[in-house]
Amino acid sequence: MSTTAEASRRRTFAVIAHPDAGKSTLTEALALHAHVINEAGAVHGKGGRKATVSDWMEMEKDRGISVASSALQFEYAPEGHKGRPYMINLVDTPGHADFSEDTYRVLTAVDAAVMLIDAAKGLEPQTLKLFRVCKARGLPIITVVNKWDRPGREPLELVDEIVSEIGLQPTPMFWPVGIAGDFRGLARVSDEGEAEEYIHFTRTAGGSTIAPEEIYSSEQAAEKEELDWERAVEEAELLAADGAMHDQEMFEQCVTSPLIFASAMLNFGVHQILDTLCEIAPSPSPRESDPKVVEASSTAIDVVRNVNDDFSGVVFKVQAGMDRKHRDSLAFMRVASGEFDRGMQITHAQSGRSFSSKYALTVFGRTRETVETAFPGDIVGLVNAGSLAPGDTLYAGRKCQYPPMPQFAPENFRTLRAKSLGKYKQFRKALEQLDSEGVVQILRNDARGDANPVMAAVGPMQFEVMQARMDNEYNVETVTESIPYSVARRTDAESAPGLSRQRGVEIFTRTDGELIALFGDKWKLAFIEKEHPELTMDPMVAD
C-alpha cells in the first residue's frame, strides 16, 4: 500500500483536559474497546484498583495523576467498516497545570485533540487554556463531556458555556438520554440535527469490561424511555435550530467542535468516540519547514513536506527511565512524511549528523515492541537518543527542518545540588539527561557554578519530578533551595552587564545558549524597564 494510502488511515490525536477529568481512564477505555487490553485499570491507585497502563512512572501511580505524556498505538475498525482497520496513535498528556509545556509540545505532534470536560465542573482553568491553545494552532477539537454517570450540570448549560467562553460552537453527535447521574444511553444525532436512534448501555461490574449496547429506533426509544427520550430529542432540535450541526469544513477550521457525552469509568460512549475520530478526524497533512531556516539556508531545503515525500519526523518528547533494566533515552518522534524503515540512513537536521535508526519501537505504557516500518502520523520511539531534544527534525533525502518547539515562560525557580559530593559525577549526568528531556530548564552562571544550577519551571511539581527521577533512576539524592525570583526575561550580551548591576536581578545562561535575566518580581521588572528602556528584556512566551 502507498504512503498516501497508509497516511489516510492514520488518526493521531491527544487527550487533553483539566486534572482529574478522566484522561488516563479514557485512554484505557479506548484501548479496551479496540481489544488491545482485556480489562481496564480504572483510576490509578484509588480504592485498591490498578493503575492505568499509560501511567508508568511511580509518582504517577502513587498520586493518581499523569505527569508525562504517553503514546499508545493500536488498530481499530468501526462496526461495518470495510477495508483495513484505522491505525490509532493516541497520546495521553499531563493534566496538571504545572506540566503545560509538555502538553503544548504534544499538540505540535498531533492532528486533532479530544478535550474532556467534567460534567459537574464544566470549563475549568486548565481546560480553558488548552482549548484556546488548540484553537490558536487551528487544531480540530472533539469535545467529550465525561462523567455523565455522576450528578452534574444541564447539557445545554455546558454548551452555552463553551460558546460564550471560547467562541467554539459544539455540534452534538451523541446526545445524552437521562440527566447527569442517571446516564441511560445516547441519542445518535444526524448532520441535520435529528435524533436518529437510541443506544442503550448496560453497566458491567466496576466498568472494567465493555458495556453491552442495545440499539433502538426513535419510535422504540420513545416507548422505552418516554420523557427522557423526548427531552433529548427536543434539546437536539433546539441546538439544530440554532445552527449547531456538524459541518466537516467548519470542524477542520476549528470553528465547531463535535460533541459526545460519555462515562469513561463505565465505558459508556467510548466506542462512539473512537468511531467519530475514525470518521471525521483529519489524517496527516503537509508540514511546513521553519521559515527562518529556509531563509538562512545556503543549500536546497524543502519549504513544504508532503506526506508522500521522503521521510521526515519531528521529536516532541524525550524520556529516560522508562525501562529500569536499561539506562536508555527514548525520543518520541512523530513521522511527518514518507516511510520510516528501521535501520534506514537518516540525518539530524540541527547538527547535520547521521542518526542510527536501528533501535525503533512502538510504545504502549512501559511495553515495547520493535517497529520495522512507520508512516505519517505514527509515533515511533527511538532508543539511545541522547543527542536529540524536543523540536528536533530527522529526515532522509532532501533536507527539511521544522519550527522549534515552543517553551513556556518559567515562573518558579529553585537551586539544585547533590546531597553528597561523592555523587557529583552521577549528578551531572542526570542533570544533562533530564535537561535535554525538558523536565525543567537549567540555568547556570559563574557565581553559582556547575554544582549548584538553577531549575526554572512552569510549576513547582516539576521540581518534585526532577528530584524523584534523579533519586530513582540515577541514585542521586538532591537538595533544593528557593531563590528570590519570580519573573524571567530573555536578554542579550549587550544588555547583560547593565542588568546585572541592578539590585534584585541575576543573569544566567540556559543550556541552549540563551541569556536569561531573573527578576525579584513584576514590579522590579517594570521599574527597570521604565528606567532603562535601552536594555533588552523580552518576554519568554510560547510562539
The residues spanned by each domain of the chain are: 3-280, 287-395, 412-539
pLDDT at position 69 over 60:
no
**pLDDT tens digits, one per residue of 242-294:** 999 999 999 999 999 999 999 999 999 999 999 999 999 999 999 999 999 99
30 vs 16: CA distance, rounded Å = 14
pLDDT at position 349 over 60:
yes
pLDDT at position 127 over 70:
yes
Mean pLDDT of the chain: 87
What pLDDT was estimated at residue 284? 97
529 vs 505: CA distance, rounded Å = 12
Note whether 406 and 137 are within 8 A (CB): no
What pLDDT was estimated at residue 163? 93
What's CA 204's distance to the chain center, in Å? Answer: 30
Q: From the CB of residue 296, how many other CB atoms can be counted at a distance below 10 Å?
A: 9
H, E, C per residue of 430-499: HHHHHHHHCCCEEEECCCCCCCCCEEEECCCHHHHHHHHHHHHHHCCCEEEEECCCCEEEEECCCCHHHH
130 vs 142: CA distance, rounded Å = 13
Q: Determine the average pLDDT of the residues in 533-542.
A: 85
**pLDDT tens digits, one per residue of 136-162:** 778 999 999 999 999 999 999 999 999
What pLDDT was estimated at residue 42? 40
Helices (H), 281-317: 291-296
Give the residue ranges of the annotated binding site for GTP: 92-96
Beta bridge partner(s), residue 122? 118
Record the cell numbers describing residue 12, joined without a space.
Answer: 493521531
pLDDT at position 458 over 90:
no
pLDDT at position 50 over 80:
no
pTM for this entry: 0.81
pLDDT at position 183 over 90:
yes
Q: How confident is the model at residue 23 (pLDDT cuts 50, 70, 90)?
A: confident
Going by C-alpha positions, the residue among 147, 116, 121, 92 that lies closest to residue 266 is 147
Record the cell numbers describing residue 11, joined without a space.
Answer: 488518526
Q: Report the chain's C-alpha Rg in angstroms.
A: 25
456 vs 467: CA distance, rounded Å = 13
Q: How confident is the model at residue 484 (pLDDT cuts 50, 70, 90)?
A: very high
Q: How confident is the model at residue 63 (pLDDT cuts 50, 70, 90)?
A: very low
33 vs 85: CA distance, rounded Å = 14
Give the residue ranges of the annotated binding site: 92-96
What pLDDT was estimated at residue 43? 36
51 vs 67: CA distance, rounded Å = 14
What pLDDT was estimated at residue 44? 39
Q: How confident is the model at residue 55 (pLDDT cuts 50, 70, 90)?
A: very low
Rounded percentage of the chain residues whose pLDDT exceeds 90: 61
Q: How confident is the model at residue 507 (pLDDT cuts 50, 70, 90)?
A: very high
CATH level 3 topology of 412-539: Alpha-Beta Plaits (3.30.70)
**pLDDT tens digits, one per residue of 310-340:** 999 999 888 765 555 555 678 889 999 999 9
pLDDT at position 80 over 80:
yes
What pLDDT was estimated at residue 128? 79
CATH level 3 topology of 287-395: Elongation Factor Tu (Ef-tu); domain 3 (2.40.30)
Q: Hey, what CATH class is 3-280 in?
A: alpha beta
What pLDDT was estimated at residue 318? 80
Q: Determine the average pLDDT of the residues in 47-64.
A: 46
pLDDT at position 47 over 50:
no
Cα–Cα separations (whole angstroms), residue 526 to 99, 400, 413, 503, 537: 28, 41, 20, 13, 10
Whether 3-280 shares its CATH topology with 287-395 is answered: no
Query: How many residues in the chain?
Result: 543
51 vs 46: CA distance, rounded Å = 8
Single-letter residue type at 43? V
Backbone angles phi, psi at 178, to 5 degrees: 105, 140
63 vs 325: CA distance, rounded Å = 24
What pLDDT was estimated at residue 39? 66
Helices (H), 200-300: 218-225, 227-241, 248-252, 270-280, 291-296
Record the cell numbers describing residue 114, joined without a space.
Answer: 479530544
Rounded percentage of the chain residues whose pLDDT exceeds 70: 89
What would the DSSP string read from start to end of 156-182?
A: HHHHHHHHHHH--EEEEEEEEES-TT-
pLDDT at position 387 over 90:
no
427 vs 453: CA distance, rounded Å = 11
